[in-house]
Amino acid sequence: MRFRSIFRVHVSRTTKSAFSLSRFETRRSFSLRCTNYERPSFGIAFDIDGVILRGFKPIGNSPQALRKLYDESGTLKIPFLFLTNANWVNLRTNCCRNWEYTGGGVPESKRASELSELLGVNVLPSQVVQGHSPFKKLVKSFENELIVAIGKGEPANVMAEYGFKKVLSMDEYASYFDNIDPLAPYKMAPNNNITSNGSPRYDVSSERVQAAFVVSDPVDWSRDIQVLCDILRTGGLPGKEIGHQPPLYFAADDLEYQTILFPVNIPSVKWSCYSTYNFFVNG
């Protein structure tokens, strides 16, 4: 069974990692904004959780420290980016009292907007490297293939922003199969990632899933592990004959990360899925 950590894939298969790509993008955006200064010979990479923020609260004087990287007109003097493998998602109310997702499991553009608001500086998407950012390096392999995105927040939007054209969230994909989740009748939580009106956007009854991506921590572990095992065992077409096993990618390998509390992370899901799959296959 191919359980893949996306970071390991790119360390072994290419010399140009997603981090080097982000560094290039940040350097390019910085050069466009920095015409009156001599380009510095260094940049800064900040961790977010436990360094800059804890939950929604800046730590210490981190906003003031970041502002020192800009001049009085708001032009960036020292290039920097944020690196984070955390997948926290907080729910907060906006001005209309509607709940919205923020934090991990969201596209780089939305995370950049959140950081700009919380820290009082202009953060570009190219300055944000999240745990799932390396997935963009796999667009050429799966751009027009059916893939499933798993996790809390907006996993399908994350993959779509990277350039994947046929993406279904696990919520939406599972909703098209009767009885694929045996515990569904006992669950009251709404499926927030279902975007269709009930009609499949793709023919999931005949089109095989070519890859699955765990973008952030899943909420419904029992369903997600069940469906992932079905996808892996049948070659991407649950309920049908056995086919070639599609790859399964995970965004990060860190068991814990710094936030308000210390939640378990994607590796817990990874090893739960691994154990369940081996039980199905080997008994």
Homologous superfamily (CATH) for 41-130: HAD superfamily/HAD-like (3.40.50.1000)
pLDDT at 182: 84
pLDDT at residue 274 tops 90:
no
β-strand partners of 148: 168, 212
Looking at per-residue pLDDT, the higher value among 97 and 151 belongs to: 151
CA 11 centroid distance within chain? 19
pLDDT at 90: 47
> Among 53-67, 100-114, 257-271, which range has the highest average pLDDT?
53-67
Contact 80, 69 (CB under 8 A): yes
DSSP label of 134: G
Tell me the pLDDT tens digit for each residue of 16-48.
433 344 444 444 454 445 555 577 889 999 999
β-strand partners of 249: 4, 213
Report the CATH fold assignment for 134-185+204-253: Rossmann fold (3.40.50)
Task: Judge if 41-130 and 134-185+204-253 fold alike in CATH terms.
Answer: yes
Please enumerate in sequence order all residues whose Cβ is within 8 A of that of 236, keeping only pairs 6 or more positions apart, or say none.
Answer: 146, 208, 209, 210, 243, 244, 246
What's the rounded Cα separation, in Å, for the pair 244 and 224? 20
Contact 171, 194 (CB under 8 A): yes
Helix (H) or strand (E) holding 211: strand 211-214
pLDDT at 75: 86
pLDDT at residue 11 tops 50:
no
Amino acid at position 37, single letter: Y
β-strand partners of 76: 70
The mean pLDDT of 78-103, rounded to a whole number, is 59
Q: For the chain, what are the domain ranges?
A: 41-130, 134-185+204-253
The mean pLDDT of 139-153, rounded to a whole number, is 96
Residue 271: pLDDT band with limits 50, 70, 90: confident
pLDDT at residue 7 tops 50:
no
Question: For the chain, what is the mean pLDDT?
Answer: 78
Cα separations in angstroms, 217 against 2, 23, 114, 267? 19, 26, 19, 9
pLDDT at 141: 97
Residue 267: pLDDT band with limits 50, 70, 90: low
Phi, psi of 44 (to 5 degrees): -130, 135
DSSP label of 192: T
pLDDT at 15: 37
Closest CA to 253 of 55, 49, 86, 53: 86
* Count of C-beta atoms within a 10 Å radius of residue 82: 24
Residue 171: pLDDT band with limits 50, 70, 90: very high
Please enumerate in sequence order all residues whose Cβ is within 8 A of that of 10, keeping only pairs 6 or more positions apart, or say none.
Answer: 17, 18, 134, 137
What's the rounded Cα separation, in Å, for the pair 17 and 19? 5
Look-up of token digits 């799959």? 277
Helix ranges restricted to H, the chain: 6-13, 18-33, 62-67, 108-119, 139-142, 155-162, 170-175, 221-234, 266-282
Contact 63, 121 (CB under 8 A): yes
Closest CA to 193 of 225, 171, 215: 171
Residue 104: pLDDT band with limits 50, 70, 90: low
Looking at per-residue pLDDT, the higher value among 39 and 163 belongs to: 163
Q: Which two tokens stand for residue 165?
A: 């054209």
The mean pLDDT of 41-68, rounded to a whole number, is 91
The mean pLDDT of 202-225, rounded to a whole number, is 92
β-strand partners of 129: 83
pLDDT at 89: 47
